[in-house]
Amino acid sequence: MNACSDPEKINGPKGRLTPPTYPARVIEPDEGEPVHVVVWCPWDEDVHWHGAAGGGGNRAAHCATDWHSPLLRTGYNLTIVGRAVAADEVIPPGLMVGARRLHQVLDQASGALRAVLLRYLLDVKAVHGSVISKRMPKGKAWIFGADGWLIEPRGRHSLEGHGFISLAASLYGVPPGVAAVRFLEAVSFDRLDAEAVFAVQSAIDAWVARGAPSRASR
């Protein structure tokens, strides 16, 4: 967990993003116990508890295990869909639910994923160590831990940046949004339709133009 406890320092001030809406249930309390509203948070991958005053509506998200959650910035809208005896009733039935959290698994796998992608992106046989150097006919590239990179084309000004999307865009001469769509389709084994392609491309290109903030400043 990030040591910072102020969501705005992590995610920035609240903007005009539309918060998502999730179904929630009212917990039937034992006699004398307070009433609570519970909701399954797909970003925190856990049950969030709220006071029942006001019923549903917009609530601040209690994302305690995923400080990169965008809900810390937007909150969420809750729709009361019924009552429950126990909070477990809002937990989805996925096979791995409760055993592991997807966002933590992907964080753990991110190093291996970066290494595999870099092998193909740079056409190298293997990736060893935190710094990769690749000499190509048109210049040379240095990749630092797969997070930062420097490219020196022959006879041109050097290029540098951070992250896979900008690296792929610079190496292959495509807009960052196009590179993002290609990566998404490759890892999901799906093909997006034209409307989705242009929406993703536009969002990624705008994100890069804003400075492509790190995960810690989402």
Q: Are residues 120 and 171 in the same domain?
A: yes
Q: What is the pLDDT of residues 22-67, one digit of tens each?
A: 999 999 877 767 899 999 999 999 999 999 887 889 999 989 877 7
Q: Are residues 117 and 78 in the same domain?
A: no
Q: What is the pLDDT of residues 176-198, one digit of tens each?
A: 999 999 999 988 888 999 999 99
Q: Are residues 212 and 124 in the same domain?
A: yes
Question: Are 63 and 83 in contact, with CB atoms under 8 Å apart?
Answer: no
Task: Classify strands 21-27 and 159-162 as parallel, antiparallel or unpaired.
Answer: unpaired
Q: Are residues 83 and 121 in the same domain?
A: no
Tokens of 209: 């133009």
Show the domain range for 176: 102-217
Structural domains of the chain, count: 2
2: pLDDT strictly greater than 70: no
- Please indicate, yes or no, if residue 160 is contained in any of the structural domains: yes
DSSP state letter for 134: E
- Per-residue confidence band for 213, with pLDDT thresholds at 50, 70 and 90: low
Q: What is the pLDDT of residues 113-130, one digit of tens each?
A: 888 888 888 888 877 777
- Please indicate, yes or no, if residue 161 is contained in any of the structural domains: yes
- For the chain, give the mean pLDDT: 84
Helices (H), strands (E): how many in the chain? 6, 9
Per-residue pLDDT, 75: 94
Q: Are residues 56 and 160 in the same domain?
A: no
Q: Are residues 109 and 19 in the same domain?
A: no
- 195/189 Cα distance (integer angstroms): 18
Q: Which residues of 37-61 are buried (b: 16+ CB within 10 A; e: fewer)?
A: bbbbbebbbbbbebebeeebeebeb
Q: Are residues 116 and 206 in the same domain?
A: yes
Q: Give the CA distances from residue 17 to residues 1, 35, 210, 215, in Å, rounded to whole numbers and listed in that order.
A: 24, 30, 16, 17
Q: What are phi and psi of 24, to 5 degrees?
A: -135, 160
Q: Are residues 15 and 55 in the same domain?
A: yes
- Per-residue confidence band for 4, with pLDDT thresholds at 50, 70 and 90: very low
Q: Are residues 177 and 201 in the same domain?
A: yes
- 147/162 Cα distance (integer angstroms): 5
Q: Are residues 131 and 70 in the same domain?
A: no
Question: Are 42 and 101 in contact, with CB atoms under 8 Å apart?
Answer: no
DSSP state letter for 215: G
Query: End of a domain among 90, 115, 139?
Result: 90
Mean predicted confidence (pLDDT) in 64-81: 89
Q: Are residues 111 and 195 in the same domain?
A: yes
Per-residue pLDDT, 25: 95
Q: Are residues 14 and 81 in the same domain?
A: yes
